[in-house]
Structure 1
Amino acid sequence: MAQRALRRWYAAFWLSFGLIPQAMAVWDQPNTTRSTTLSLLVVLALCYPITGTFPGNAAVRRYAFLGVLILGIGAVSYLMDGAASLLIVSLPHFWILAGGPRRAVVLSGAAAAATVAGNIVQQGRDGEILTGNAIAALIGYSAGVLFGLWMHRVVGQRDERARLLTADLEDAQRRLAEAQRRQGAADERERLAREIHDTLAQGFASIVVLAEAARNGLDADPDRSSQQLLSIEQTARENLAEARVLVGSASANSVAPASVAGALRRTLDRFAEDTGLTVTADLPDVDCDQPTRIALLRCTQESLANVRKHAAATTVGVVLERHPHGVELEITDDGRGFPTGARPAAGESGESRGFGLDGMRRRVAELGGELTVTSSPGDGTRVHALIPLPTSSGEA
């Protein structure tokens, strides 16, 4: 676009300072000279558009115009003195249209030779071989060659810099896309690992504990073992539903129904039934969106799993509250507790792999909330999650 605009501006310049002055200079010449020169100038003006507006091979059209231009400059030089100015003003045509510096030098040299030849033929009868007009044409040609070569070098360097910058930009974009792809894959792996830990892994751990208890109680308490086997079956079905959600073949609504209070009650009932612990719950109906329901359910499942594996508690309390600033979930137990600044030893829990308390914190933080854990040895543990909600929260 910029090159096209530059050519239009130069065409106007060439017409104004190349052709029109020649037409004005020949106006007081004899009729034959005047009419012939004006005809040549009109032909040159009319031939210029063929370089860009007519169909066909563009290179052939450009060289055809340059050939006409060379002949025209030579003819004008023969008909009247002063064609050096037309040559000098026309020199950029050769650098724009010739297709390379060598062709531009040769073709513009041919135009300069035609100018000098026409002038010599015109002035030769007077015995004057090199007139001031011929010398001006040679000087103009030499200066044009030097300037053209310099500009070609400058433009070449600019194009090379542009090429290098483009290559660097493409490489940076490629590396950025690759980094984003790797980061996306890493984020997806972390998300899947967290979901598996919070759902499938906890379910399998519960199945293992229930299976061991059922096996040990088959003779002593068959009814209790039967109930534990039913719990194993239900947990396995829930794990299957969770697995289908993870692979995308089922909706998350199947594991986090519209009522978060209902989902938490079912989870607490199963926990109390499987562990025999006393569970107190204050679970009013809280209206919140789907991501918040899932986060509250996962935090509860993870906290109960930690109580089952580590706390040695007798009582667990769960409180769900809706406040103007958001929804709060509090889970407490009267177990052994732990120093909150220390991480459990490897093999004790999922936290040692980074998917326990840290996973809950990340899940809540993704929703703009905050999770805090308060505990100390012998004083039990309190898990508090606060998730902000819109003023008028509705179903997702």
Structure 2
Amino acid sequence: MPHSTLAPVFIGLHFGLHALLIGLAGFAVVRAFVASSPVAAWTLVVGVAFVAVYLAGAWAARSGRAAGSSGRTFAVVWVAALTLLWAVLTWLTPEGAYLVFPLFFLYLHVLPGAGGVAAIVVTTAFSILALGLHLRFSVGGVIGPLVGAGVALLIGLAYRALRREAEERERLLTELIRTRQQLAETEREQGALAERARLAREIHDTVAQGLSSIQMLLRAAERDTPEPGAGYLKLARETAADSLSDTRQIIRELTPARLDDGLAAALRRLGQEQSDRASLPVEVAAEHVDLPMVTQTALLRIAQGSVSNAIRHADATWIVVELAREDDAVSLVVRDNGQGFDVSSAVAGSHEADSFGLQAMRERVEQLDGALAIISVPGDGTTITARLPLSTERGASS
């Protein structure tokens, strides 16, 4: 939990449990040698094995080597091996019974639910039995393990509640950070759209108006100028007309059709406008999909660029635009029956103007964690498919 202020607490508890368990195991071994127990050597062997198995399991869990369903099986086997070694150590020396207290926390952590409680009950009963056989049965020998088990259960439940609260806080903090990122992305996108609209207005009021005036002046001069000068004026007028057409196309791309009615309505308007302008059918099949404004704008730009390329460069006689919702994504497909092109050459940049448009489409899609597929064969038309996820961290609410 990198953002949680409780992370140091949990780390301290884990290291404290490690230290307590290893310290109690060492105490049981040393006590056996100090008391000159006849099984001191066996106590040492079992104690070292107990610590080694514990450290190996803790290392595997921390390094992530025990994960998934196999990790669950590993944890159960690990706890069973520790319990067996602890039972042997307790049978050899009564001080081994002290290790049951840190084992209680291990059971609650590794065996959640009834499994952990059952393990505590069994080991508590075994501790009482072992202490009774070693030191004779007494009230203290019975009450001590029972009190330890009760305290461990209470602390374990409190630890779980604290951890759940910390995880919930971490989840809320992650959502807050994600929301702030989405808000910042939306603000940047809105700022970019506003700047593009401003540039479109500036181009319309300056360059486009100037080219229109030049075209009218050249037309008037063409009528009053004899050949061959009239031919040069006609060529200049046609060049100005082409430049004006390109400028208007730039303005249209800078200012998308209004999306107040949704992307489907904007695509239908685009198809109608291009059909009227180019005198070729542009069929639009678009279902309404509730999308963030950023996603709508990106798909509309891709549709504009694809339709424009099909009309201006592909010599297509029909174009189809489809917008559909999938399970967890929205897809935009633009197909035409034009002359097609070599996709690998275009991507490599051999057709500089076309490759720039394709690269711009790809960058738009990648910014929203989507995918762009271009299928085209020279002489057999082109299909461009943009697929964007319906929910993305980069997206923004409309």
TM normalised by structure 2 equals 0.49
Query: If you compute each CA radius of gyration, which structure gives the higher value, 1 or 2?
Result: 1
Taking structure 1 as the reference length, the TM-score comes to 0.50
